[in-house]
Amino acid sequence: MRPTIGARLMASAVIVAAALSGAGCSIGAIVGGMVESYKQSSTHPIAAQYTGLEGKSFAVVVSADRVIEASHPGLIAHLTGSITESLRYNSGASGRIPADDLLNYLLQHPEWVARPISDLAATLRVDRLIYIDLYEYTLHEPGNSYLWAGSASGTVSVIEADSSYPDEFVYQAPISVQYPDKMGFGPAELSKQQVSSVLAKRFIDRSSWLFYEHEEAYYMDY
């Protein structure tokens, strides 16, 4: 088998350090510098936090208040569809409720919010229901529409419909992402669509990555 890039880099670092050690160079500084350089341009695997989707069917429900829905039309559908498809292809699940079908059902049955969440899972006939409470989604700070300060926050929860306690969340995780990464950007530098698109993608990634092993940069922006 061919050695990985990381293994080749570390081997090179040891050789270079050994060659220079006789000249009084700092081995630690040399190796540390090469490892740091490698980290800045590489990724590493991150394990899933919840692995209970494997071999199970699921549905993703994204809930937000009317202010968020009115301010960002189409956002809930976008998040629901993107997270559902990401999990479909990466989590090892046996099946899923397509986002369009789910959204149509929720629209036609608004009373679902007043019923136990296990009823919704039973109606959809899924083993796992992923419930995402999106309680913040804004592109700028209150009272300052001249500079972008996008922020999205929510809680990702899971119920196991086939468990003894189908109304209890067996897993919960907070999600919080921001964009841009630096202050001082306004509409002249970034459009509203650009800011919202990147912010939504970061929220989608962080929500989806909870459920399967994935690669992340050593120094992530989000």
**Segment 151-187, tens digit of pLDDT:** 999 999 999 999 999 999 999 999 999 999 999 999 9
- 181 vs 1, 29, 192, 195, 211, CA distance in Å? 40, 30, 15, 11, 26
CATH architecture of structural domain 57-217: 3-Layer(aba) Sandwich (3.40)
Instruction: Report if pTM > 0.95.
Output: no
Instruction: Report the alpha-carbon distance of residue 17 to residue 157 in Å, rounded.
Output: 49
Nearest to 200 by CA among 183, 178, 173, 220: 178
pLDDT one-digit tens code per residue, 65-123? 999 999 999 999 999 999 999 999 999 999 999 999 999 999 999 999 999 999 999 99
pLDDT one-digit tens code per residue, 6-47? 545 444 544 545 554 555 556 666 677 777 776 777 899 999
The answer to whether residues 200 and 79 touch, using CB atoms and an 8 Å cutoff, is yes
What integer pLDDT is reported at residue 7 of this predicted model? Answer: 46
Over the range 29-67, which residues count as b (16 or more CB within 10 Å of their CB) and which as e?
ebbeebeeeeeeeeeeeeebebebbeebbbbbbbbbeee
The whole-chain average pLDDT of the chain stands at 90
Q: How confident is the model at residue 57 (pLDDT cuts 50, 70, 90)?
A: very high
Which two three-digit tokens encode residue 53? 């989707």
Q: Is the pLDDT of residue 3 over 50?
A: no
What integer pLDDT is reported at residue 22 of this predicted model? Answer: 52
What integer pLDDT is reported at residue 2 of this predicted model? Answer: 45
Q: How confident is the model at residue 1 (pLDDT cuts 50, 70, 90)?
A: very low
The more confident residue out of 150 and 41 is 150
